[in-house]
Amino acid sequence: MEEDLDQLKKEVAQLRRDLDHVLRVIGQEEELPEQPRSPFLLLEAEMISIRQTSDRIPMVVKAQEGSAYIYLNDDEARARGIFQIDEEGRARLEIWNKKQQLVVSIGETNEGGGEIYVASPEGKPRAGMKATELGGIVSAQNSAGQPNALLVGKDEGGTIIVADANGRPLAEIATSDEKGATLVFFDDEGKPKATLPGKRLW
């Protein structure tokens, strides 16, 4: 009986040490009158992996000095979505296709404005939208990455620019004043060769 009691004391002491360790890891080691234990789990970690099976981890949350990431993976362990805060404190959401090409990027510019980037299945830029000091800009590119169309919205009005396959402007429609818009055609050197003033019809 005495041996059983000694063994039981050892097991209870080990359980107490294990419990203290678990409480310390989850931040619940001390319960003070002025600061009772939280009813919910408090967890601190540099990386958390959400696992479906032994070989499938669809989500990873990772933090390192100056930045943080959330990775969303498909069934073949390919990163398909990433939400990140970089070292400069800028937020960005990226979507990758099955070929591991970046096809969508939504983020913050250096100036603090927003921008959206859309690419082809091969990862080549095809359309974009961003806010700058000049105003809002929407652009569309061909498969070679050359801009073919540009839409700019400014305080004084809007501008539409159409370019050729090499990105050279061919025509521009812009608000000239409160009376209407002006259509300008450009030559191969980018110089205006014809101007058609317009008037409001409403």
Residues 93-102 pLDDT 10s? 999 999 999 9
Residue 201's pLDDT is 44
pLDDT digit string (tens) for 115-152?
A: 999 999 999 999 999 998 888 999 999 988 889 999 99
**141 class by beta-carbon count within 10 Å (0-12 exposed, 13-18 middle, 19+ buried):** buried
pLDDT digit string (tens) for 63-89?
A: 988 899 999 999 998 999 999 998 888
Enter the pTM of the model.
0.70
Residue 80's pLDDT is 96
Residue 163's pLDDT is 93
Residue 74's pLDDT is 94
Residue with more model confidence, 33 or 108: 108
Residue 178's pLDDT is 62
Residue with more model confidence, 179 or 38: 38
Nearest alpha-carbon partner for 134 in 114, 155, 116, 148: 155
pLDDT digit string (tens) for 165-182?
A: 888 999 999 886 666 788
